[in-house]
A and B are shown apart, each in its own frame.
Chain A
Amino acid sequence: MAEKKTKPTPKPRVAMREQPAIERVGNFSEVALGYTREQAMAEAARCLQCRKPACVKGCPVEINIPGFITRLAEGDVRGAYGILRETNSLPAVCGRVCPQEVQCEGACILGQMTDKASGEKLEPVAIGRLERFAADTFAAESACDELTGKPVCAMPRDGLKVACIGSGPSSLTVAGYLSALGVQVTIFEALHEPGGVLVYGIPEFRLPKATVGREIDALRAQGVEIRCNWVGGKTVAVRDLLNDGYQAVFIGVGAGLPKFLGVPGESLVGVYSANEYLTRVNLGRAYDYPAYDTPVTRGKHVAVIGGGNVAMDAARTALRLGAERVSIVYRRTREEMPARREEIHHALEEGVHLEMLCNPTAYVGDGKHRLAALRLQRMCLGAPDASGRCRPEAIPGDVFELPCDQAILAVGTGSNRVLLQDTPEVTLNKWGYIVVDEETGETSLPGVYAGGDIVTGAATVILAMGAGRRAAKAIARKLGLQ
């Protein structure tokens, strides 16, 4: 048994540098700037190295969190990165966009303790920031030869091949897991760039494209083949792949069908789905128009409808595109918003207005089929509903108009039918999502697996990765690799 450590009162959590709000609203560069080596080592030293680490249980991809933090505390970035990559194919992405506060950090024992001296609650170890530091620093210090050289783990096995449809977080996880076991994985992506929601959805200032690209290059170096412009269900069918000798097919096509409210005026010019708005700006790089050819209308007064992370992304994007006023319209209050606290905080810091307890009842045109205002019904909170959140109720007669020339709808997405229409053998539930075996991710069509938003409906990057990991394990067992 090691000598008993004397445990002084843990130091406060090391803050991470950020671009000041006043500067960042004028650019698309990343907001959070990451730890320095000293900061990372200091933060890593806060870890209690619990014998039964609760943080690992809180992680959908079961990262050996105490393990990688120990390495970081010793200054061994390469060792830490190696541990991360054992279970996580996208550490630089997860370190940025995971809701750590409800996962690893939410379970961190340090975060449950109070400071004996001041009686204040202690903050958990900044696991996400450390993960990001390890991934970024490894990439920066271990340039091309490390990333593109063949890793030692994968001994390619003849005749084993698996196809993934879609190249978002769940498919990338499947590809990372299986290719490390020597399986030839081919990813079919419908758009012209791989990454799925990491590329078309999450903005540059939150997750730089170069970071995503680096993770994908690392997978390519591991032998994963990615084919863009192949539309699952159109260019290539699931049965084509099974006939072609793929032993398993993983469907990770996400839930990308934008929802509309169905209120009058929704077809007015100036009303966007958040998907369209963000796809133009992110995938099409419309923020750099006309250097890139995809245009986006730059609204002056922008209303973003919805209270999730996508709404925050759209609002903050609109500010960066030069909007004079950006309002988030949400029918409950700030407390009930599903967005991460950090995202709401960043948005407010940057000057986004919150129009709470309002529900759009119509889009008002200017007579020339262009949006002029949003008609809003004031709401109040009633009794909690099935979701446990207070049900918003209309206040009769309390209606007003919010002038705006652009409205961006971020009220959720549904199941995209393109692949599913072509694959009727796969059973869907009543919402149009794929029914899978919870343990293995296998669908009603043997050998065909699914995971991510196309199974659960819109959720987070890390949950999709968790589903990818479960499916990959099941596929590996089926192929006799474990």
Chain B
Amino acid sequence: MAYKVPRPADGTFLSCVIADYMTSEGHPPQNRKTGAIPWLAGKLYFLGDIMAARIIRKEVLIPGQTTKLVLDAPHVAAKAKPGNFVILRVHGKGERVPLTIADADPQQGTITLVYLVLGKSTWLLNQLEEGQELNDLCGPLGRPTHIEPGPEPVVCVGGGTGIAAMHHIAKGFSRAGHEVISVIGARAKDLLLFENELRTFSHDVLVATNDGSHGIKGFVTDALRDYLDAHKDVAEVVAVGPVPMMEAVANLTRPYGVKTTVSLNSIMIDGIGMCGACRVNVGGKIQFACVDGPEFDGHQVDFVELRERLSAYKPHELKSYQECGCSHG
């Protein structure tokens, strides 16, 4: 197994043979206690100038809308924890796009991203095929989800594309010994993501669709309310999805007094705490989603303000999308 790493200066490729560092099973030896991969820490030297990442697998989850990519990015995978995100650029003139990591496999050196085609950058990303490379990939960024070991039940709520990001967090809680109840929702059955993956480790998967085509007819909050009414031992609710969904979840859980964590997808430029574009009001204090978050106490987040700030570039997004639709499509 060899990783190819591009060298931007001359455009040629440097093959980095790290097969020597593999065990007989084809995996790098891993320190079980710390999760650290010795060969990676020791051999940063071999991993070229930029962190371009090759697309190993591309899977269309919802045609024309949502796609899953598995990227060869060993240095990100080695450190990625639930709740982390990456920033990528599709091409040399592209903007920096933050995407939450939906899964990571440090042994294979891969990370999984799921994105909704929403504007020019995700449209361009969607044009790439297996074997092609992103221009830049940077991460893992943000604070990981705070996960204490334990058996207490944790309810993970995901809506739309957010289900993918929620999947990584739910998996983290499950691995830490928690009983995980996954609650997922979408408009219709065809738009649900990761249901099978979630079933592999969840204690239960509750499904809500607006049209009733799968699970209960209604919203994730309906399923969540029923669950909270019947189970008083829930330690934490984690919600990842559209802002109105996370707001609704936070409002629902408040009277129950259940700790509620939401993962915010603010506008970001650098993702390393330099620009402040991602600032959110949490409990009356300015917090940066990229370095203080992206996860915050859902009961403290000012969702009204977040919604307004997210709309700041709507006209630009629309214009770019239309222009690329015309010129490329």
Contact = CB atoms under 8 A, between A and B. Distances in A.
A417 B291 contact: yes
Given A229-B51, A267-B279, A276 B75 contact: no
Interface string A217-255: 000100001111111001110001101110000000000
B274 A369 contact: no
B241 interface: no
B75 A418 contact: no
B269 A244 contact: no
A279 interface: yes
B95 A284 contact: yes
Interface stretch (A135-143, A285-293, A459-467): A285-293
A240 B44 CA distance: 9
Interface in A389-433: 416-418
A235 B76 contact: yes
Contacts of B28: none
A190 B49 contact: no
A270 B313 CA distance: 10
Interface string B262-303: 000000011011111101010000100001000000000010
Nearest to A288: B93
B196 interface: no
Residue among A235, A243, A245, A417 with the highest chain B CB neighbour number at 10 A: A235
B137 interface: yes
Interface stretch (B182-190, B220-228, B251-259, B316-324): B316-324
A338 interface: no
Say whether chain A's binding surface is mostly helix, strand, loop, or mixed: loop
Interface residues on A, range: 35 or more
Given A220-B9, A244-B45, A418 B51 contact: no
Given A231-B141, A293-B121, A294-B95, A260 B49 contact: no
Interface in A264-300: 266-267, 269-270, 272-273, 275-276, 279-280, 283-285, 289-295, 297
B41 A243 contact: yes
Contacts of B96: 192, 284, 294
Interface string A366-399: 0001000000000000000000000000000000
Given A192-B138, A229-B137, A235-B75, A293 B44 contact: no
Interface of B: 9, 41-45, 47-51, 75-76, 79, 89, 93-96, 120-121, 135-141, 269-270, 272-277, 279, 281, 286, 291, 302, 305, 308-309, 311-313, 316-317, 319-320, 323
Given A256-B274, A267-B286, A293-B121, 7 more contacts: A235-B79, A258-B275, A260-B276, A269-B311, A270-B312, A276-B276, A279-B275
